[in-house]
Structure 1
């Protein structure tokens, strides 16, 4: 009887864990003792009253006391992440949590909130049930939302964790609102269990958003991988065309590294009035766009650009990554100098992918590259902050812009995109067209993601880039990347037979350097450009502009500046904090540039060949 009972126990353990967990039990021999029960974490997610914007969470901990030292300490600490990977800002998700309670064996257990994002449960019980509510009324790709129409879960802001059990499997049971029939997520479904999913560890759970409702879905296969698209919100689109174009983008993106690491992929698409961008995940992404995203060719290509960007992140960031970006510390900032690579070079690849997929002509792609350079060169902060500094300061500056940000910062997205172009050209030129940025991505993927199973340091990235280029890249790494000094662009474009030309019209018109916004009939200054007339002569953000040269401004400041010459003085009257001030402002030369890439004279055969390889011209 004891032997039969023991076999029944082992069979039960195998049935419970084998289909869903990498920690499946191995059958014991007769002379072995049973292993300690494996801790498990299950979340039951419900939304019985979605109109109130609350998710209800029940967190069930089984066999957890030994693993968490609860028996020794007499308590266990439950935490909520303060940020979500891919969005580099401390978001304080715990601010939305309420009604935290704990029970053991059906009886209430004492608990205290001990930090802004941590609760201490005073129990040494093996099995605990934690319950709490999460207010979710902010629909972005980085926050959670639920209303009468649908629910969207950013896991970092909904699911709590235990440090000691982060590496264990985490199961999620979704109980949709009674009127909802569908769930979309990159999490792996548990066989035979409706709306039940499992992640191998907490990192994967955090990396798997969940859409719940009655969204429309369609699917396709790209690179032999099944893809699902979940579409929330009203939008008019040609499903056949959109499906085909998703496939084109995805398959073009896969050619960069040459290997697709996923067994499946999920797009969650929200069609909401303001749009809002995207956020990458391990085998899924959430995209926010407006309902008119498919209405014109320009809008449509803009949406495909977003698709390409977030999709390429499944390689760059999620697998090819700086060493700081995983495993994550969910309670503190995770600093790196390389967001220019992780985000900016993904922006470089978004257009590069559309070019190789045939959505952009070579001429259109050159226009995009020139416009990217124009954008950063017209921002004063480009002469203040380097791309590496921008990456490091993302946590305090990137997501917290103010009225002076354009004067002091540069986006690691836009600057990084330009740097991606320059690095690609450097590798092409250094290898005589034998290698490109693709080869660098492939090397990083194979060496660090697959072989060493970690991220890379700044120095390791530089060595890899120079190895692929076949030469030193001092100008790129010591000037273009790490300083705010001017970049010698034509040194990068000359090998492909191009030159960057400023085609901004030369004019004697004066330049004020301030922008205004009209609210309730009041013209208020919203930005002042560093070094401009407005900046030098004391016009401030927040000033209400009353008159120029004795005439009421109204809603058209430009008519008072247009046609004025450099050196002309405008007599401004402003209301500043309730006091009228007179400001004479002397107009300066317009500093704005507009770049275009043009062929150099007498192009060589080598330049033409490299140009064709750069732009995928056969």
Structure 2
């Protein structure tokens, strides 16, 4: 790859993007790289973006790539990989690269440009050269007159411009520019901004107030901040949803009319809490396999469950301590997670460590549920089990929060932590060897005794309805009137009878059945009855005998055990940071919980 000439230290890479005609999701991008004395300059566009562990076709949006020297003369180049261009040089020169960019990937939170705004994640917008990855950066934008621009990056000398210490800061500091609403507040000595794009049924006052409460709770886990200023970006969309953490900002998306109802709002605010926690867990410290980011290939680690699952575990605890959600809402969410775990046969097949390593090739659907676990949901459960174990082993003196406080203290980037480092922290807090616990809970598929775990805090699982209902273990398509089967739970009657995802149910005992009536039709039978399900299997009409079973009818709930002890109440206080929330009859005390 050329001669061994050395490029100047601490040069500056200058980016420019023209967004003045955004109607067709397009922009013009140019990059001025400093002088290089090598005979080639490799230019890359990342093939994945931080926060989404998945290879993406980012370069598909690039057209009209062009390279010129310091005098504007054309330079020859070749496309050397999916996200790589190699510019050939005959003598030392500054290299200027330009290209057209198509940007309509809103839901991926990569790049989106339209007449009202542009959301720019550098992973899909700004090319870089490994040679100058650590050099200073400026970004200048030409935008329509009515637009306002925001980023976690420091503002530049001119309007709609920003600067960063290097490409790693740029790639983790997205830009939101356009027609928007802007708010600011202070919390615990730090500055915060909230930017809203898109019309919707959100209440800006409530959101800003709750974000302020969340932002003031970081001290519960960590003893310092990795930022001075933080930007919450909120998109009210026509359907896209999701969120991504960044170095000192986050982007949160929700369909525009899914903010008002309490359940919808809880989804939004818990996501905001999740991404805020990521500012420490992932952005300030992360597993060794993720350090440094390799933007052109996968970063592998068996600890991705700590990065994502533990963040999910802490998100509602922060909300609970901040008073944004009630104890009843917290336990209702926990009950859903427990129920999801119990209905995921993959927990008996795949370990959470293996799931972490397989995240880059993770698939969804029937196979995932039956043969896999999620770094998010199973990572949450593993984090809870570890938290309760730590509280028990230290007589409430230490919790899983202390593990993350120590990770932040001892493994700030560019240091990455390993499995042995985490085990060392656990041993230091407890005086015990966690090798066996780790083997049984992390490296091996695990089915947890939830009642045993929760009993330590005076809690138990319970089904709200004591009645039973009939089940065969299939989940139909979410489309109305569609009897196509999405999932067949491993070990269920349908699974044992050979029914698979993709089959389509048309009749029960020879009588036509509709999607809305399928569940009710099953209730005509008793546990142990054998029925005939007629399905289309590979387009052939096939009758299949199935022995139905009974399952609890109501939702799983978490409530107080009978006659909880003072020790159990103290355990819950040390765990969640709240006083015992039940009265003597097991009812929630807080009137907001009724």
For the aligned residue pairs, the C-alpha RMSD in angstroms reads: 2.4
Aligned in 2, Cα 1:540/1:602: closer, same or farther, shift over 3 Å?
Answer: closer
1:530 aligns with 2:481: no
In the alignment, which of 342, 346, 354 is matched to residue 307 of structure 2?
A: 342
Query: In structure 2, what is the equivalent of residue 91 of structure 1?
Result: 56
Query: In structure 1, what is the equivalent of residue 32 of structure 2?
Result: 60
Query: In structure 2, what is the equivalent of residue 182 of structure 1?
Result: 148
Deviations 1:379-433 (A, max 9, x none): 1111111211111111001xx3133221111111111112222222222222222
Aligned in 2, Cα 1:523/1:606: closer, same or farther, shift over 3 Å?
Answer: closer
1:47 aligns with 2:19: yes
Deviations 1:458-491 (A, max 9, x none): 1111211232234334564122222223223344
Query: In structure 2, what is the equivalent of residue 429 of structure 1?
Result: 392
Aligned in 2, Cα 1:76/1:224: closer, same or farther, shift over 3 Å?
Answer: same
Deviations 1:133-174 (A, max 9, x none): 221112025321111221111211111111121111121111
Query: In structure 1, what is the equivalent of residue 197 of structure 2?
Result: 232
1:514 aligns with 2:479: no
How far is 1:437 from its partner? 2.0
Query: In structure 1, what is the equivalent of residue 380 of structure 2?
Result: 417
Check conservation: 1:141, 1:286, Cα contact below 8 A.
no
How far is 1:538 from its partner? 2.1
Aligned in 2, Cα 1:544/1:608: closer, same or farther, shift over 3 Å?
Answer: closer
Query: In structure 1, what is the equivalent of residue 98 of structure 2?
Result: 131
In the alignment, which of 497, 502, 508 is matched to residue 542 of structure 1?
A: 502
Query: In structure 2, what is the equivalent of residue 155 of structure 1?
Result: 122
Query: In structure 2, what is the equivalent of residue 564 of structure 1?
Result: 525
Aligned in 2, Cα 1:607/1:516: closer, same or farther, shift over 3 Å?
Answer: closer
1:328 aligns with 2:293: yes
| TM-score (ref. length: structure 2) | 0.90
Match of 1:479, SS state, is helix
Match of 2:283, SS state, is coil
Residues of 2 paired with 1:475 and 1:490: CA distance? 22
Aligned in 2, Cα 1:328/1:522: closer, same or farther, shift over 3 Å?
Answer: closer
Match of 1:129, SS state, is strand
Unaligned runs of 5+ in 1: 1-34
The number of aligned residues is: 570
How far is 1:598 from its partner? 4.3
Deviations 1:4-63 (A, max 9, x none): xxxxxxxxxxxxxxxxxxxxxxxxxxxxxxx95853211111124312211211011122
How far is 1:110 from its partner? 1.3
Residues of 1 paired with 2:465 and 2:357: CA distance? 33
Structure with max Cα Rg: 1
Check conservation: 1:319, 1:445, Cα contact below 8 A.
yes
Check conservation: 1:84, 1:142, Cα contact below 8 A.
no
Aligned in 2, Cα 1:36/1:151: closer, same or farther, shift over 3 Å?
Answer: closer
Query: In structure 2, what is the equivalent of residue 23 of structure 1?
Result: none
Check conservation: 1:249, 1:304, Cα contact below 8 A.
no
Aligned in 2, Cα 1:392/1:505: closer, same or farther, shift over 3 Å?
Answer: farther
Residues of 1 paired with 2:131 and 2:75: CA distance? 20
Aligned in 2, Cα 1:196/1:519: closer, same or farther, shift over 3 Å?
Answer: closer
How far is 1:114 from its partner? 1.5
Residues of 2 paired with 1:316 and 1:380: CA distance? 29
Deviations 1:323-382 (A, max 9, x none): 122211111111111121111111111110011111233344333323321211111111
| TM-score (ref. length: structure 1) | 0.87
Deviations 1:220-258 (A, max 9, x none): 111211111110000244433332211101111343202
Residues of 1 paired with 2:277 and 2:9: CA distance? 40
Residues of 1 paired with 2:223 and 2:357: CA distance? 30
Aligned in 2, Cα 1:511/1:294: closer, same or farther, shift over 3 Å?
Answer: closer
Check conservation: 1:137, 1:144, Cα contact below 8 A.
yes
1:389 aligns with 2:354: yes
Match of 1:492, SS state, is helix
Query: In structure 1, what is the equivalent of residue 408 of structure 2?
Result: 445
Query: In structure 2, what is the equivalent of residue 581 of structure 1?
Result: 542
Match of 1:151, SS state, is strand
Query: In structure 2, what is the equivalent of residue 12 of structure 1?
Result: none
Query: In structure 2, what is the equivalent of residue 455 of structure 1?
Result: 416
Q: Name whichever of 550-559 and 585-594 sits farther off.
A: 585-594
Check conservation: 1:253, 1:308, Cα contact below 8 A.
no
Aligned in 2, Cα 1:403/1:497: closer, same or farther, shift over 3 Å?
Answer: closer
Query: In structure 2, what is the equivalent of residue 3 of structure 1?
Result: none
1:403 aligns with 2:366: yes
Query: In structure 2, what is the equivalent of residue 196 of structure 1?
Result: 161
Q: Name whichever of 569-578 and 283-292 sits farther off.
A: 569-578
1:609 aligns with 2:576: no
Q: Name whichever of 409-418 and 286-295 sits farther off.
A: 286-295
How far is 1:299 from its partner? 2.5
Unaligned runs of 5+ in 2: 1-6, 580-594
How far is 1:591 from its partner? 8.3
Check conservation: 2:19, 2:141, Cα contact below 8 A.
no
Aligned in 2, Cα 1:116/1:275: closer, same or farther, shift over 3 Å?
Answer: closer
